[in-house]
Each structure stands twice: as C-alpha cells, then as structure tokens.
Amino acid sequence: MTYATDEEKQEAHRLSAKKSYLKNRKKYIKYAKKYAEEHKEDRKKYYENNKQKLKDNSNKRYTCECGSEGRMGDSTRHKRSKKHKIFEAHKLIYSI
C-alpha cells in the first residue's frame, strides 16, 4: 500500500498495531503477568540496587509543556489532571 504522506503511513501503522493489540489483548496480558511473576526477584534486586537513583530521578523537577511545574514522579498523574487535559484540548483546537 502507498501513502501520500508520512503521517498517513504512521496513522495506518498505529491503527493496525492497535487492532492487533485489541485482538491479542488477553494473550499479551497473560504474558505480561507471567513475565512479572517470573522476574519478581530480579525486579526486587534491581530496585534495591538502584533505589537512590530511582528516588533521585523521581524527585527531579520538570516543567510540563502546559506550563506546570512538578516532580518527575508525579508526571503521569499530572498528565491525567484537569489542568493538563484543558491544555491538550486547547492545543488540539488551535493547531487546526
């Protein structure tokens, strides 16, 4: 298949990946659970060895594209916040 633009190609790829994920969702979740269970000790060890590094990284300050400042560790929660969602909506509306 040929696409007019790179964006079109990316979008098509994204949609097909999503479709495949939804189709095989149960399998992926089962695999992820199995992997997590099998590597429990490794993950624990990694955390113990890198505790300070992980904490430092989590406490690092960052500035979001919406103008908010916060800790790295809170960035995922911030992305779900009302303030950030409103910014995203504005970005979408005014970029068209």
Residues making contact with Zn ion (CB under 5 A) = 64, 66, 68, 84
Q: In whole angstroms, how close is the CB of 78 to Zn ion at the nearest point?
A: 6
Q: Which amino acid is at 44?
A: K
CA distances (Å), origin 82, targets 27, 44, 72: 33, 34, 18
Give whichever of 66 and 73 is closer to Zn ion, judged by the CB atom: 66
Q: In whole angstroms, how close is the CB of 29 to Zn ion at the nearest point?
A: 29
Q: How many CB atoms lie within 10 A of CB 55?
A: 11
Q: In whole angstroms, how close is the CB of 84 to Zn ion at the nearest point?
A: 4
Give whichever of 15 and 86 is closer to Zn ion, judged by the CB atom: 86
The answer to whether the CB of 72 falls within 8 A of the CB of 60 is yes
Give whichever of 25 and 79 is closer to Zn ion, judged by the CB atom: 79
Longest Cα–Cα distance of the chain, Å, equals 50
